[in-house]
Amino acid sequence: MERFTSRMQAVQSPIIPIVGELIRRHPGTISLGQGVVYYPPPPEAMAGLSEFLADSRHHLYGSVVGIPPLLDTIAAKLESDNGIFLDNRRSIVVTAGSNMAFVNAVLAITQPGDEIILPTPYYFNHEMAIAIASCRPVLVPTDENYQLRPEAILDAISDKTRAVVTISPNNPTGAVYSEDALRQIDRICAERGIYHISDEAYEYFTYDGTRHVSPASFADSFDRTISLFSLSKAYGFASWRIGYMVLPSHLVDAVKKIQDTILICPPVISQYAALGALRVGASYCRGHLETIASIREIVLDALKPLTELCTIAPARGAFYVFLKVNAQLEALELVERLIRDYRVAVIPGTTFGMKDGCYLRVAYGALKPETVAEGIDRLVRGLKEILG
């Protein structure tokens, strides 16, 4: 019997569990691998959970698109934080994390065999979702600073292309796209009649005076922009699995069918937590941003001695730095050596589609400053000894 169907064969096996297993086998390893924040959810989110626990409706399913008070709260947040105004041409759907929102978007807008453009390096779950939908990711490299190349994206569009995906602030590179670049993508999508899927999971994590821009705030973008948002990072509850999407209303029935099939409803208990969190709003995340920004400074300073050995592009968003190692090494092997001999873990660039060349993603949001500092020291020492 075949082990995988052809659809599943198209889906890459995730590399992160391999790194996880290596970490488990090497106790004392500091992991700069996990793309999450170090801080807990706000008390208001906990209060939301308690409110739900005291309720007597645990046995009931909720609405397929999310509970009404959460939808109202999200609408107010979108206006105030993102400049996205809702009317009957746009709708909100609450999802089980923004990964699910991406799957919803892909299944709603494609037929098998269609193409979706992913700037590289990509976020691996996007590539996997496209493959599961029996579609083809068309990879378009970003420039040497991991910024979008709108002309290259335009050139990659075929009559099978259904969408261009952007992630800003970016995982894995930390790049923040300018308003101008995002407007160019918006224009290309408008001209070619395709969708712009905008992943904004890291909307609040920007530094050095950069600013996050939501493409759905551009005039007339309502029929082509699908925006994905997450509570996992901003509010520190990745495990509760809550995100949401803003989409053209003509796609809502399709997305309802998908969610009804897979979820019936997004987890109601987590929606109560989300309601509490969003009532506090961005100030909660911004309150922690100073600490994350100071950790970022520690990381960027500590990496300076590597400039001969690695190319480090500006990383002004999210909590990632993406290193290009100037050596002919296999990234996963390098990661194995770093874990085995130096007890520090990072993620190989192959995870994000960087098959040519050796790249490493450093994540600095998940640990206390002193632990990140120790991990980066180990990384720098390891890379100097291995490459030097």
Q: Which chain residues interact with ligand PLP by CB under 6 A?
A: 35, 97-99, 123, 167, 171, 199, 201, 230, 232, 238, 243
Residue 185: name the closest of 211, 218, 139 by CA. Answer: 218
The distance of closest approach from Cβ of residue 162 to ligand PLP in the complex, given in angstroms and rounded to an integer, is 19
Q: Please, which residue, 289 or 366, has the CB nearer to ligand PLP?
A: 366
The distance of closest approach from Cβ of residue 199 to ligand PLP in the complex, given in angstroms and rounded to an integer, is 5
The distance of closest approach from Cβ of residue 185 to ligand PLP in the complex, given in angstroms and rounded to an integer, is 16
d(CA 254, CA 196): 17
> Which residue is at the shortest CB distance from ligand PLP?
97
Encoding tokens for residue 57? 């409706």
Q: Provide the β-strand partners of residue 94.
A: 244
Q: Please, which residue, 116 or 306, has the CB nearer to ligand PLP?
A: 116
The distance of closest approach from Cβ of residue 87 to ligand PLP in the complex, given in angstroms and rounded to an integer, is 26
Q: Please, which residue, 23 or 105, has the CB nearer to ligand PLP?
A: 105
Q: Please, which residue, 171 or 227, has the CB nearer to ligand PLP?
A: 171
d(CA 107, CA 26): 40
Residue pair 23/29 in contact (Cβ under 8 Å)? The answer is yes
Residue with tokens 């300076």: 304
User: Other CB atoms closer than 10 Å to residue 91's CB: what's the count?
Assistant: 20
The distance of closest approach from Cβ of residue 219 to ligand PLP in the complex, given in angstroms and rounded to an integer, is 26
The distance of closest approach from Cβ of residue 125 to ligand PLP in the complex, given in angstroms and rounded to an integer, is 7
Which H or E run contains 274?
Answer: helix 268-280
Phi, psi angles (nearest 5°) of residue 337: -65, -40
Q: Please, which residue, 206 or 232, has the CB nearer to ligand PLP?
A: 232
Q: Please, which residue, 227 or 230, has the CB nearer to ligand PLP?
A: 230
Residues near 384 by Cβ (< 8 Å), separated by ≥ 6? 305, 306, 309
> What crossing angle do the helices spanning 268-280 and 282-303 adopt, rounded to 10°?
80
